[in-house]
Amino acid sequence: MVRFGILGFGLHAAKRLMPGFRRARNARVTALSRRDGERAGASAREYGIAHAFTSAEELCRSPEVDAVFVATPNNCHLRDVLVALEHGKPVLVEKPMAMNAAEARRMLETARQKRLLLGVAQIFRFANSVRRLRELMAGGEIGRVVLTRCEFSYWGASAPRTWICDAAIAGGGPIADVGVHCIDALRFILQDEVRAICARGFADQQSGSVEAAAAVTLEFRQSGLAVVLVSTRAQYRTPMELVGQGGVIRVDDAFSVDKPVTIEVRHGEQIVTEETSNQLAYAQQVDAFAAAVEDGAPFPAPAEEGWRNQVVLDAAYRSLKTGRTELVTEF
């Protein structure tokens, strides 16, 4: 059993991480940290967590913690990951991995030097819907892919994460927040890398210093073009469509973890559907990390993948500023 400490025990930890840990087979939470001591203690009591701390250093020093889950705001990831690594703890860090690729690279290199596991919590690599799409594409179900469309929208005007509209804390708007899910899922499903990127977006009075919505065009090396649409000004939507030379795959709720997901495969007039569920994705994620810690099993979302996602995000934000197509040349 791998004992986790959660750094930054906020809404995400309460809503998504703890239900996942409760369903996990080989992972449990033994410690948490929050800056406010009273809130830390209250959260620990509410969720039956043995130890509550007010700093990363305290949590990472605890002998009751085998691994650290970093769930703090984005601008704290670098500091918190390095603290955990310095204390000899393997780390699973929330997406986006960092504020930029340089930070992500520093984390990756430090973990390598320390010979410690560092993973990024790209949760949909553990979602049955995304894994099934990867299988279908690898099996040539629709032939060579030509076009892909992926959207991730949610209503963020009244989001409880008050820092999400501050670029100095969040690093960006929905491109960084949920666009990274689309980018990572497409790289994973297509087993391909992005060669060039072009982004257009807009801000409004409520979005502060970040974009409110954006359209990002990705040119893959072998898999044609993909359009990623992101917004914090629409209802929750996560449709995906893959268009190949031999057919089409459609999923209306590709990234849903709360309800069944229907995958539709079209070959001309023939339509075949199958249903799956992502309800165990969060449990599967921490169990996979625990297996990597205990047994050295490969973790499906290693730090290098987080760095690669960050390189693509950096190019997207450069394009958003310059209005030009930006090449991705780092890998």
pLDDT value for 50: 98
Between β-strands 225-231 and 213-220, what pairing exists: parallel, antiparallel or unpaired?
antiparallel
Say what the pLDDT of residue 24 is.
98
- Average pLDDT of the chain, as a whole number: 97
Kind and range of the H or E run holding 218: strand 213-220
Structure tokens at 280: 């165990």
**CATH class, range 127-278+311-327:** alpha beta
Question: pLDDT tens across 48-60, in order?
Answer: 999 999 999 999 9
Confidence tier at 157 by pLDDT (50, 70, 90): confident
pTM: predicted TM-score of the whole model, two decimal places: 0.97
| pLDDT confidence tier of residue 165, bands split at 50, 70 and 90 | confident
List pLDDT tens digits, range 95-144.
999 999 999 999 999 999 999 999 999 999 999 999 999 999 999 999 99
* pLDDT recorded at residue 161: 76
Q: What is the pLDDT of residue 156?
A: 84
Q: Could you tell me the two tokens for 41?
A: 């203690």
Of all residues in the chain, the percent with pLDDT exceeding 70 is 99
Give 56's Cβ-side CA count (13 Å radius).
21
CATH class for the region spanning 2-123+282-300: alpha beta
| 5-22 per-position pLDDT tens digit | 999 999 999 999 999 999
- Please report, for the chain, the start and end positions of each structural domain, with discontinuous segments joined by +: 2-123+282-300, 127-278+311-327
List alpha helices for 17-75, DSSP H: 18-23, 37-47, 56-61
Is 11 in contact with 160 (CB distance < 8 Å)? yes
Would the pLDDT of 325 be above 90?
Answer: yes
pLDDT of 164 higher than 90? no
pLDDT digits (tens, 9 = 90+) for 274-292: 999 999 999 999 999 999 9
Sheet holding 51-53: strands in order across? Answer: 51-53, 27-33, 2-7, 67-70, 91-94, 118-121
Q: What is the dihedral of CA 138, 311, 305, 25, to 10 degrees?
A: -110
Strands 67-70 and 2-7: parallel
Instruction: Kindly write down the DSSP assignment for every residue of 262-325, as one continuous string.
Output: EEEEEETTEEEEEEE--TTHHHHHHHHHHHHHHH-PPPSSBHHHHHHHHHHHHHHHHHHHH-S-
- CATH topology agreement for domains 2-123+282-300 and 127-278+311-327: no
Is residue 323 over pLDDT 90? yes
pLDDT at position 42 over 80: yes
Q: Distance of alpha carbon 242 from its chain centroid, rounded? A: 21
